[in-house]
Chains A and B, each alone.
Chain A
Amino acid sequence: MKSIEDLERVKKETLEEIGLRQSSGRPRVVVGMGTCGIAAGARETMLAIIDELKKRRKIDVSVSETGCIGLCAKEPIVEVEVPGEQKVVYGNVDPNKARQIVASHLVNQRPVQDWIINVRKSE
């Protein structure tokens, strides 16, 4: 890299690359993947979500992760954000619950009330 132009080109390419695989008005699923989440089984939860989305190719959902949000006892924590609706946070989400959340909340737009630990406004 030798000039500002090179730097600008790299920036543009990288932003395009990230943009291709990131959320843009799509439903979003975020899994807590801090140390506490990993120890509680967040990896298996994440893999179950990916596997369930793989089977349901018609829905376009962005999957992401975050660190510890300070509620370690409720890990694995999964946040579901559907555009235009409130963010729903689920706690103690094992792989089976994760699959049901995909089917019920993301496919059928019916949040699973029993496992919700918080609901908040979308930013």
Chain B
Amino acid sequence: MFDISLHLLDLLENAADAGARNVALEITEDPSADSLTVSVSDDGRGMTSDEVRRALDPFYSSKPKKVGLGLPMAALAARMAGGEVSLDSAPGKGTTVKVCFRLSHIDRQPLGDLGGTLVAFLAGHAGVRLTFRYKGPGGHEFSFDSAEGTSGADASRSQIAFLSWAEDKIRAGLAVAGFAPDRGGIGVEVHRGS
């Protein structure tokens, strides 16, 4: 996975798999602190302390398979960029996954197609309410709440009409907030261009 938005899609999928009804994604780019922080919070079933301890093991999964690569790969991307992953979870309380990167690190992956990630997630999880907040490098913010597109007069719109509305709103909002999908570390740019 070559950009952060793909890791985020994987983390969002984990949240939905955990039975979450509400998922919150927050992304903050803070040049003054040289940090990029992304967090995914859900109200799913949560994890025991033993599951939290093993969550970053690529050969552990709570699903009936032998591997679970999503979180370990996100953690690897973070460590390559001078960052770290932290997990806060308890059974019945949901889970928060926080991934930090050094914003200017040479190996920091670009954010990628964040709009595409959110739309793909919404397409697959009609019953999940997704809230999203992005704080850009210039301090501009953009917020999105999927419930806005499914309430009142909009409740009867088709799935495709809903996704179209969501995509337009997210892409326009991100552009205004100064979001740049290709802005990453120098090493990543060289790698992508080679």
Contact = CB atoms under 8 A, between A and B. Distances in A.
Tell whether A pairs with B. yes
A83 to B, nearest CB: 16
A122 interface: no
A54 B164 contact: yes
A17 interface: yes
A84 interface: no
B127 A33 contact: no
A20 B6 contact: no
Interface string A54-67: 10010011111101
A64 B160 contact: no
Interface string A32-60: 01110011001110110010011001001
Which of B63, B127, B155: most chain A Cβ within 10 A? B127
A22 B39 CA distance: 28
A63 B106 CA distance: 38
Give the size category of A's interface with B: 20 to 34
Given A21-B126, A67-B63, A39 B13 contact: no
Contact of A17 (B63, B150, B158): B150
A4 interface: no
Interface in B110-160: 113, 116-117, 119-120, 123-127, 150, 155-156, 158-160
Interface residues of B, number: 33
A79 to B, nearest CB: 13
Contacts of B116: 43-44, 47
B192 interface: no
| Interface of B, helix, strand, loop or mixed by DSSP | helix
B94 interface: no
B46 to A, nearest CB: 19
B9 interface: yes
Interface in B58-102: 63, 65, 68-70, 73
B126 to A, nearest CB: 4
Nearest to B63: A67
A20 B124 contact: no
A14 B129 CA distance: 11
8 contacts: A17-B127, A21-B126, A33-B124, A43-B116, A54-B160, A57-B160, A65-B125, A67-B63
Interface of A: 14, 17-18, 20-22, 31, 33-35, 38-39, 42-44, 46-47, 50, 53-54, 57, 60-65, 67-68, 70
